[in-house]
Amino acid sequence: MTRKDELTNAVLDSVESTRIAAPDLPAFRAFGRPEVSYAQLWGMSTNLAAALSESPDDGSPLIVLGSKSALTVAAFLACLRTGHAFVPVDVTMPASRMEDITSQLVEASGSSADDCPVIVTVEPDELAQTPGASLKGVVLASDLIERGRRRLAQAPDPDAGVAPDGLSYAAGERSRWVSGERTQYIIFTSGSTGRPKGIEVTANDVANFAGWVRTFPVVSRGGCVFLDQAPYSFDLSEYELVGALTTGGCLYVVSPQAKDDTRRLFAELSDSGVDVWVSTPSFADLCLVDHSFDRALLGKVGLFLFCGEALQNRTAAELLRRFDGAVVANTYGPTESTVAVTWVQVTPEMAASPDPLPVGRPRPGTQIRIMERDAEGALTGRQCPQGEVGEIVIVGDTVAKDYFANPEKTSAAFSQDRLPDGTPVRAYRTGDLGFLDAEGMLHCKGRVDTLIKLNGFRIEIDDVESNLAELDGVEFAAVVPMRRNGRVTGLKAFVVVDSDTPQNSPQGLRERLCERIPAYMVPRRIKVIEEMPLTSNGKIDRKQLVNF
C-alpha cells in the first residue's frame, strides 16, 4: 500500500483544505434557505462522523437516504471520514425496493438488518413522505449530529484528537478515511433481474475523475457555482459534487418543488448565479421550451455539461444561440466508469450538421476500444477498425471495482487489462454500440440490450416487466419504450390479468407498481389486453406492441 492509498481522499482532502483556507466560502445554496459555508459543512460532517465512529471500523457501506440538502452532503463526507462507503438513495425510493438494497448489503456483510444503519437526512416533518424511513436500522442524521456533538463535548482529553475548531472528530482520523481501492460509493441502478444492482466506485476512481473535471473550461477557474439538479442516487450528480467540492465551488440545489413548477424552477435558476450547468439533455430541453431561458436568466453560465443520454444537435444549437460565449460539452460514460470518460466541445458547425453529435475523445487515463461481437453477442477479441460499429469497451483508471456482491454479473462485464503504456487498469463492457471516427471521436449508436434512458434515468425494461409480472392478478406483462425522434419519451406496458377488478385496472396496477419501483420507472401508459401477441417462435411480439 502506498502513502497515497493510506492517506488521501480527493474529496475530503479538498473540502478540508478549503475549510481551513476559506472557511466562510459557500459550499451549498438553495432558494430561500441560508447558505452553508465550507466550515459549516465540515462541522456538520465532524459531528456526524463522531457519532458514526462509535461503531467498529468495518468498512461496511452505509445508506444515506435523503433529498438534496447540505445535511445529505455532510453525511456522505462523514461516511468517508469514518471508513464507510456511502450508498445514496433518494427519498422517493419505495420501501420494498429500499429493503432490497438493504438486504443485499446485510447479506454481503453477514450482519443483521439492525446493523445496517440507514442515515436519514430529511427533516422530521418530511419523514411521513419518505417510504424507506419506516425500515429497520434507520437513524436520523439530526439525532446523530446531537450524539456526535455530545461525544465531542465530553472528549476527555482535547489533545487526544478533537481539535477545538471542529476540524477532526478523533486523533488520526485520516487513517480511517476511505482511500485508494476502497469503495467510495455504491450506486444502485435498475437491474435486469428485477432487483437493483449496486456499482462500487473506488476512492481512486473518484480521485482520477476529479483530476479530469478540474481541467474543464470554467471549472478550472475554481470557486464556480454548479447547478445541482440530478438526484444524488444518479451518478450524473457526481459531476457537481466532485466538481464543486474539489475546486472550492458551491452547489446550487434545485428544489423538488421546482420539478413540476416551471415558475418556481425559473425563480430558482435566476437566483442561482450558476457558472456550470450540469444536467441531462432532457432537462435542458424542458427549460428551452420557455423563451426566457436565456442569458438574462443565467448571466454567468459559462459551461453546459451534459451526460447520461444523447445530446441532440438542436439542443446544442439552441443553447449556443441563447447563451453567447458559453461552452456546450457532450460527455459520455456509464456509472461503471465514474460518470463520464469522453468529452467534446460542441461547435456551432457540429450543432448545425445533419450528423448526430459525437460524444468526444477519451479522457487521459482512459482508452476506448470498439470490439466486434459475434452472432451470440460474445466479443470475438477483434478490435473494429475506424468507422466500424462494435461494442464500446472502456479501459481505464476510472472503471469501477465491480457489481456489489454479484460475482457473476461482475465477471461478465468487468476484467483486468492494461493501458497502451502498460499501466494495469480495469476494463468494462458497456453494452453500448459505437464507432470511432477519423478524428478519434467516439459516436454512440444505441444499446445491445434492453437498457433505456428516460430523461437520463437508466432503466432495465426487464426490471419493470418482472416487477409488473409479480403483482397479484397479473398473468403476463410486457413493457416497450415509446420513442420520438430516436429518443425514449416514456414506457408503455401491456398486461394480461386474471380478473377484471379495480386493482387490475391500469390505475390499480400503477399504484401497486409505485410501491415496488421508483416513480420514474413506472410506465406512463398501462393497457390491459386479452392476450399477449406472440411471434412465430413463441416470444412476445414486441414490434407489434410498439405499434399497438
Which residues, listed in sequence order, are joined to residue 495 by a DSSP beta bridge? 477, 528
Residue 191 binds to ligand AMP (criterion: CB under 6 A): no
Nearer to ligand AMP, 189 or 272 (CB): 189
Query: Interface with ligand AMP by CB under 6 A: which range of 24-32, 58-66, 284-292, 301-309?
Result: 301-309
Q: Return d(Cα 200, Cα 432) in angstroms, integer.
A: 20
Residue 90 binds to ligand AMP (criterion: CB under 6 A): no
Q: Which residues of 510-522 are buried (b: 16+ CB within 10 A; e: fewer)?
A: bebbeebbbebbb
Residue 518 binds to ligand AMP (criterion: CB under 6 A): no
Report, in Å, the least distance between residue 431 CB and ligand AMP. Answer: 7
Nearest to 359 by CA among 421, 401, 316: 316
Residue 444 binds to ligand AMP (criterion: CB under 6 A): yes
Residue 453 binds to ligand AMP (criterion: CB under 6 A): yes
Site string for ligand AMP, 340-379 (x = CB under 6 A): -------------------x--------------------
Question: Which residue in 72, 330, 398, 450 binds ligand AMP (CB under 6 A)?
Answer: 330
Residue 81 binds to ligand AMP (criterion: CB under 6 A): no
Using CA atoms, how far residue 42 sits from 14, 32, 74, 398, 436, in Å, is 11, 22, 7, 26, 44
State the DSSP string of 382-416: EEPPTT--EEEEEEETT---EETT-HHHHHHHEEE
Nearer to ligand AMP, 116 or 452 (CB): 452
Report, in Å, the least distance between residue 280 CB and ligand AMP. Answer: 9
Please answer whether residues 167 and 38 qualify as being in contact, where contact means their C-beta atoms are separated by less than 8 angstroms. Answer: no
Query: Interface with ligand AMP by CB under 6 A: which range of 32-40, 167-175, 220-228, 330-338?
Result: 330-338
Which residues, listed in sequence order, are joined to residue 120 by a DSSP beta bridge? 65, 140
Residue 88 binds to ligand AMP (criterion: CB under 6 A): no
The three-class DSSP label of residue 211 is helix
Residue 460 binds to ligand AMP (criterion: CB under 6 A): no
Q: Kind of pairing, strands 361-362 and 250-253?
A: unpaired
Report, in Å, the least distance between residue 444 CB and ligand AMP. Answer: 4
With residues binned 3-state (H G I as helix, E B as strand, rest as coil), the percentages for the chain, rounded to 5, are 35, 25, 40
Report, in Å, the least distance between residue 233 CB and ligand AMP. Answer: 10
Residue 432 binds to ligand AMP (criterion: CB under 6 A): yes
Backbone torsions φ then ψ of 114, nearest 5 degrees: -70, -25
Residue 307 binds to ligand AMP (criterion: CB under 6 A): yes
State the DSSP string of 17-75: HHHHH-TTSEEEEETTS--EEHHHHHHHHHHHHHHHTTS------EEEEE-SSHHHHHH
Residue 235 binds to ligand AMP (criterion: CB under 6 A): yes
Question: Which residue in 240, 309, 318, 391 binds ligand AMP (CB under 6 A)?
Answer: 309
Indicate the angle between helix axes 237-245 and 10-21, nearest 10 degrees. Answer: 40
DSSP class of residue 137 equals T
Residue 78 binds to ligand AMP (criterion: CB under 6 A): no
Sign of CA dihedral 374, 378, 382, 384: positive
Query: Interface with ligand AMP by CB under 6 A: which range of 51-59, 213-221, 307-315, 466-474?
Result: 307-315
Nearer to ligand AMP, 308 or 365 (CB): 308
Residue 279 binds to ligand AMP (criterion: CB under 6 A): no
Q: Can you list the positions of beta strands (E) in 295-422?
A: 303-306, 327-332, 342-345, 361-362, 366-373, 379-383, 390-396, 402-403, 414-418
Residue 85 binds to ligand AMP (criterion: CB under 6 A): no
Query: Interface with ligand AMP by CB under 6 A: which range of 124-132, 252-260, 329-337, 478-486?
Result: 329-337
Nearer to ligand AMP, 80 or 201 (CB): 201
Nearer to ligand AMP, 53 or 367 (CB): 367
Residue 308 binds to ligand AMP (criterion: CB under 6 A): yes
Nearer to ligand AMP, 122 or 452 (CB): 452
Q: Kind of pairing, strands 390-396 and 424-436?
A: antiparallel
- The count of chain residues that interact with ligand AMP, using the rule CB under 6 A, is 17
The residue ranges that bind ligand AMP (CB under 6 A) are: 235, 307-311, 330, 332, 334-335, 359, 430, 432, 444, 447, 453, 458
